[in-house]
């Protein structure tokens, strides 16, 4: 049966039967089919249905192409999870990657709630956040700085918390990019018809003036075809769909379909991914809208499940004629409108702030600046700290090095452009991703500013070298300085002279539209080594948009400290200094693996210019790949130090719910977020953690699960984490609640989530390799 026939069937069908099996019957994806239990979206559905019943076809067409009708005004949506893009007087938040590195669910929720309020304050109905994917399958991917790291469990939890927070603020969150958009190169074919941003109308997706050009490689235009991803059904469900389950359950009312192809058809016209998986299996109740230029057809997109599109594809001569001649259906058109209105009614947006212009004097920041600084500091990961180099205490003289310490000459904000061909480092302090997650910072506190404030307050002598280039001779004139006073020799070494600590700053930069050409930077690394060769207390601060290799100097004896973070937003410099000087005890943990060598990463995940990209590594990305290969990274997933020390109890308590676990397969009703029983808590696990150091601190206890061999899973997988604040000398419980889905694997034959029978090893660790205690549960 063709997809068109299936929607025709849907047109005939308008009942309330709940069909519990997910089949290729795509009529189930129509909300009014009753296939999916709507729960707390039911009221929104009822109201949207009553509203749509009064509209003419012309009005419905108007709504699905991004305009208003009757008393519904055009939907306004905009990027990103970093800030409402392009607006004055908003908070420039830490990016998704940094937020994930906090391992603090409450922080991510807190950001969502405050950021959501900023979108709402500007009159935006929909925020294009969270960025669930790219996950970061490839360390070379250019856009992983926006999302929550390559572990699908962590990514799902964090995306869900951001979405919940945003929804609580009254804005409709929209998850992107659905799905499998793991590299930027050739993500889009050259056939870029249709609208920009959301794909329709002036108000539709991005703000007017959003410039996008063909992604991939500006110097060599793509062949005209976007790449197509192929991935096995098991990994598709377990690694790539899994975090979207969390986002849907948490209340996203939108989903942005991605530019590239899946199994040969574009992300915005793939009936499997949109109708079958997203709308039925995950029970997504909202509307699907296209990434910029991601709609390519009239009927294929509408029939596959795109709900919002461009009038250059959807108009009287296409969709309306299609309803008359049977190529399209009136029921599907109603469904498109209803889906768009779900968020409107759920969040009571009938009464909503007026939309304001970019520069209008509407300040929506409240006290969010304090949170942005607090979260940024909490996200920083202390990777190395020898001879108690950190925190910096009672120093007489400190020198700082690197262009990343100080502002970029033209400020932190950039033009909205895709990032292909852009340098791999930012020449100045890097605090945000590029592309549509670019910063709208009203100000930026750089390390240079923060160090000057600190020098003023603490009284130390500060010297700086704001350049990545090592300069060994000051040239010209005769040097008469004896180096003992403030008179400097104007060389890199001259600046290091007399310093009790040398802090070197470096960044790695990328963003939407372009991938990374390097994972380390020769010039920055040369600077670190040169400083370290001459300064026995060299501390390196790295801000990066993805995995950044450190082996060029990480084991250098004089590199006594390494602080590693994502893009930290407007208070970056303060946040870094809060940790360097010990006002904040570091508690961030890595969300990706830092290899010893670029060649240690899975070469199958290299950026590819092939027209078909096979994710043949399946579930084995990031630490799961390193574990499988028994390859030792420099710093593993989950790793991070503290200024205090923690000790784990030797015993793990596991309290399984045998009743719930007796069902091998998920059998619950299809509901928003998938089968209802996938969310049942089937086991609770806890362990004691003590702070045996001298200062208060937070430990991130991590629960890894080894599945029975027959489940055919990676060696160990994160299935819980708990960030516990512990006073010195005290012991607290780290607790983990496992949902049925956390112990389930996708059974390809049965097309269902299954809790395989056998022995499960529960392991608690302080990283994916520093494992402290374990216990077996037999199911």
Ligand X SMILES: *[C@@H]1O[C@H](CO)[C@@H](O)[C@H](O)[C@H]1NC(C)=O
Which residues have a catalytic role annotated? 291
Sole residue written with tokens 């070197």: 504
Q: According to the binding rule CB under 6 A, does residue 352 interact with ligand X? A: no
Is 491 an interacting residue with respect to ligand X (CB under 6 A)?
Answer: no
Smallest separation, CB 23 to ligand X (Å):
6
Residue 72 makes contact with ligand X by CB under 6 A: yes
Q: Considering only residues 576-635, where is the footprint of ligand X by CB under 6 A?
A: 597, 599
Binding mask 643-682 for ligand X (x = CB under 6 A): ----------------------------------------
Q: Which of 2, 17, 410, 485 binds ligand X (CB under 6 A)?
A: 17
325 binds ligand X (CB under 6 A): yes
Q: Is 374 in the site for ligand X (CB under 6 A)?
A: no
Stretch that binds ligand X, among 109-117, 126-134, 530-538, 687-695 (CB under 6 A): 530-538
In DSSP notation, 54-109 reads T--HHHHHHHHTT--BTTBPPP-EE--SSSSTT-SS---PPPHHHHHHTT-HHHHH
Q: Classify residue 475 by burial, with Cβ atoms within 10 Å: 0-12, 13-18, 19+.
A: exposed
What stretches of 381-535 adopt beta strand conformation (E)? Answer: 381-385, 397-401, 461-465, 501-508
Nearest to 104 by CA among 165, 32, 193, 26: 165
Task: Verify binding: residue 47, ligand X, rule CB under 6 A.
Answer: yes
**Is 49 among the residues that bind ligand X (CB under 6 A)?**
no
Burial class, 21, CB count within 10 angstroms (exposed 0-12 / middle 13-18 / buried 19+): exposed
Cα distance from N-terminal residue to C-terminal residue, the chain: 41
Computed on alpha carbons and rounded to an integer, the radius of gyration of the chain in Å comes to: 26
Taking the least distance from each CB to ligand X, the nearer of 380 and 403 is 403
Residue 295 binding ligand X, by CB under 6 A: no
Is residue 152 at the binding interface for ligand X, with CB under 6 A as the rule?
A: no
The Cα 446–Cα 448 span in angstroms is 5
Choice between 10 and 652, CB closer to ligand X: 10
Task: Tell me how far apart the alpha carbons of residues 221 and 149 are, in angstroms, rounded to a whole number.
Answer: 29
* Of residues 19 and 752, the one with the C-beta less far from ligand X: 19
350 binds ligand X (CB under 6 A): yes
Q: Which stretch binds ligand X (CB under 6 A): 12-20, 84-92, 111-119, 288-296?
A: 12-20
Count other Cβ atoms within 10 Å, centred on residue 148: 31
In the shown chain, the binding pattern of residues 98 to 137 toward ligand X, with x for contact by CB under 6 A and - for none, equals ----------------------------------------
Token pair, residue 664, equals: 């091998």
Residue 538 belongs to what H/E stretch? strand 538-544
Contact between 224 and ligand X by CB under 6 A: the answer reads no
CB closer to ligand X out of 236 and 581: 236
Please identify, among the stretches 19-27, 371-379, 474-482, 683-691, the one whose residues bind ligand X according to the rule CB under 6 A.
19-27
Give which of 549, 521, 306 is closest to 427, Cα–Cα: 521
Stretch that binds ligand X, among 117-125, 432-440, 464-472, 626-634 (CB under 6 A): 464-472
Minimum distance from residue 77 beta carbon to ligand X (Å)? 16
Q: CA quadruple 245, 250, 256, 260: dihedral positive or negative?
A: negative
DSSP state at residue 355: P
Peptide bond into 519 cis (omega under 30): no
Note whether 330 and 81 are within 8 A (CB): no
Count of alpha carbons within 13 angstroms of residue 174, beta-carbon side:
34
User: From the CB of 487, what's the least distance to ligand X, in Å?
Assistant: 20
Total interface residues for ligand X by CB under 6 A:
55
Among 31, 528, 535, 726, binds ligand X (CB under 6 A): 535
Q: Which residues bind ligand X (CB under 6 A)?
A: 9, 13, 17, 19, 25, 27-28, 33, 47, 51, 58, 71-72, 217, 219-220, 233, 236, 262-263, 272-273, 298, 311-313, 315-318, 321-322, 325-327, 350, 387, 403, 420-421, 427, 467, 469, 471, 533-537, 551-552, 557-558, 597, 599
């Amino acid at each position: 049966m063709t997809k068109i026939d299936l929607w025709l069937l849907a047109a005939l069908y308008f009942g309330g039967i709940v069909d519990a099996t997910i089949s290729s019957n795509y009529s189930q994806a129509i909300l009014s089919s009753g296939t999916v239990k709507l729960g707390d979206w039911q009221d929104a559905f009822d109201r949207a249905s009553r509203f749509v019943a009064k509209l003419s076809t012309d009005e419905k067409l108007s709504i699905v192409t991004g305009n208003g009708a009757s008393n519904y005004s055009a939907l306004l949506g905009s990027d990103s999870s970093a800030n409402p893009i392009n607006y004055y007087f908003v908070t420039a938040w830490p990016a998704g990657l940094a937020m994930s590195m906090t391992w603090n669910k409450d922080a991510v929720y807190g950001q969502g709630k405050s950021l959501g309020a900023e979108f709402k304050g500007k009159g935006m109905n929909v925020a294009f956040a969270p960025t669930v994917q790219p996950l970061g399958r490839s360390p070379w991917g250019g856009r992983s700085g926006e999302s929550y790291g390559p572990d699908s469990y962590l990514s799902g939890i964090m995306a869900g918390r951001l979405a919940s927070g945003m929804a609580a603020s009254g804005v409709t969150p929209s998850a992107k990019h659905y799905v499998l958009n793991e590299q930027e190169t050739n993500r889009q074919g050259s056939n870029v018809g249709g609208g920009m941003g959301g794909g329709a109308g002036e108000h539709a997706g991005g703000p007017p003036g959003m410039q996008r050009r063909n992604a991939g490689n500006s110097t060599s235009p793509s062949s005209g075809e976007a790449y197509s991803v192929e991935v096995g059904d098991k990994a598709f469900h377990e690694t790539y769909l899994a975090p979207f389950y969390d986002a849907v359950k948490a209340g996203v009312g939108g989903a942005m379909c991605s530019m590239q192809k899946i199994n040969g058809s574009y992300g915005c016209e793939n009936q499997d991914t949109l109708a079958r998986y997203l709308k039925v299996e995950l029970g997504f109740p909202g509307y699907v809208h296209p990434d910029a230029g991601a709609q390519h057809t009239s009927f294929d997109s509408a029939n596959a499940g795109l709900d919002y599109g461009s009038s250059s594809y959807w108009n009287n001569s296409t969709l309306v004629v299609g309803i008359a001649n049977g190529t399209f259906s009136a029921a599907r058109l109603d469904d498109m409108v209803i889906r768009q209105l779900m968020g409107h009614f759920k969040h009571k947006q009938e009464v909503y702030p007026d939309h304001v212009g970019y520069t209008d004097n509407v300040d929506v920041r409240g006290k969010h600046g304090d949170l942005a600084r607090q979260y940024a500091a909490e996200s920083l990961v202390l990777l190395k700290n020898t001879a108690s180099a950190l925190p910096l205490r009672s120093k007489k003289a400190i020198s700082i090095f690197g262009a990343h310490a100080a502002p970029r000459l033209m400020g932190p904000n950039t033009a909205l452009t895709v990032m292909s061909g852009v340098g791999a480092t930012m020449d100045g302090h890097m605090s945000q991703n590029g592309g549509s997650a670019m910063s709208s910072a009203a100000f930026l506190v750089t390390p240079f500013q923060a160090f000057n404030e600190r020098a003023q307050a603490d009284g130390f002598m500060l010297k700086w070298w704001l350049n990545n280039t090592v300069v060994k001779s000051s040239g010209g004139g005769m040097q008469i300085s004896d180096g003992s006073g403030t008179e400097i020799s104007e060389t890199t070494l001259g600046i290091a002279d007399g310093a009790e600590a040398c802090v070197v700053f470096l960044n790695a930069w990328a963003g939407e539209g372009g991938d990374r050409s390097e994972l380390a930077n020769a010039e920055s690394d040369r600077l670190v080594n040169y400083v370290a060769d001459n300064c026995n207390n060299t501390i390196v601060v790295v801000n990066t948009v993805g995995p950044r290799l450190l082996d060029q100097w990480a084991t250098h004896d004089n590199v006594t400290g390494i602080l590693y973070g994502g893009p930290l937003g407007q208070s970056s410099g303060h946040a870094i200094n809060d940790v360097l000087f010990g006002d904040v005890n570091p508690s961030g943990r890595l969300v990706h693996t830092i290899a010893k060598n670029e060649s240690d990463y899975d070469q199958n995940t290299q950026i590819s210019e092939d027209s078909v990209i096979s994710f043949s590594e399946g579930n084995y990305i990031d630490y799961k790949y390193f574990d499988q290969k028994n390859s030792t990274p420099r710093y593993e997933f989950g790793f991070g130090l503290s200024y205090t020390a923690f000790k784990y109890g030797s015993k793990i308590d596991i309290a399984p719910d045998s009743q719930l676990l007796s069902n091998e397969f998920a059998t619950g009703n299809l509901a928003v977020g998938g089968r209802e029983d996938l969310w049942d808590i089937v086991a609770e696990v806890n362990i004691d953690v003590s702070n045996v150091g001298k200062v208060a601190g937070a430990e991130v206890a991590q629960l890894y699960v080894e599945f029975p061999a027959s489940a055919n899973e990676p060696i160990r997988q994160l299935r819980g984490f708990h960030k516990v604040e512990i006073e010195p000398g005290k012991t607290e419980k780290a607790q983990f609640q496992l949902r049925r889905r956390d112990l389930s694997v996708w059974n390809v034959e049965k097309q269902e989530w299954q809790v395989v029978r056998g022995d499960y090893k529960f392991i608690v660790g302080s990283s994916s390799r520093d494992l402290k205690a374990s216990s077996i549960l037999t199911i």
